[in-house]
Amino acid sequence: MLPDLDELYKEVILDHYRNPRNSKRLEDPQVKAHGFNPFCGDEVDLQLRLNGDGAVHEVGFQGRGCSISQASASMLTEELKGKTLEQAEAVRQLFRRMMMGEKLTSDEMESLSSLTVLSGVRQFPVRIKCALLAFSALEDGIKEYRGGKK
């Protein structure tokens, strides 16, 4: 069930929820992430393949759960392509700050591009975890990747 978000938010979230982007499982990903939100049972799995320059070349996403968790994961996959893991981390941090209610500069908002639509979720504090799920999973996945690559 969707909380009473503005129409644009609803439209974008439902579109991603119904037609998740990069909805496939990648073989031999360098970065793997799994996230689970016990509050509403949301689950996401992400896989990233990097190119020789360390930038994200391909993203895979599978998941189930509420519309906000699945839509934010789908939107995140679109933002990741072409970014290095450092850039992905920067986006994750900015997104988290936005969701926690911090005021971002217009440059910062711009670098979040379409993800800013999800700021509407802030009106529903219990759903913030849903919106952050894929981002937290990504953080863990990147840590694991760096830890294993010595």
- Residues found near Zn ion in the complex (CB under 5 A): 40, 42, 66, 69, 130
Nearest CB to Zn ion, comparing residues 29 and 74:
74
Choice between 31 and 115, CB closer to Zn ion = 115
Q: Measured between alpha carbons, how far is 18 from 7 in angstroms, rounded to an integer? A: 16
Cα atoms in the Cβ-side hemisphere of radius 13 Å centred on 84: 6
Closest approach, Cβ 131 to Zn ion, in A, equals 8
Q: Measured from the CB atom, is 42 or 79 closer to Zn ion?
A: 42
- 47 to each of 5, 104, 112, 150, how far by Cα in Å? 30, 29, 21, 20
Q: Could you tell me the smallest distance in angstroms from the CB atom of residue 141 to Zn ion?
A: 19
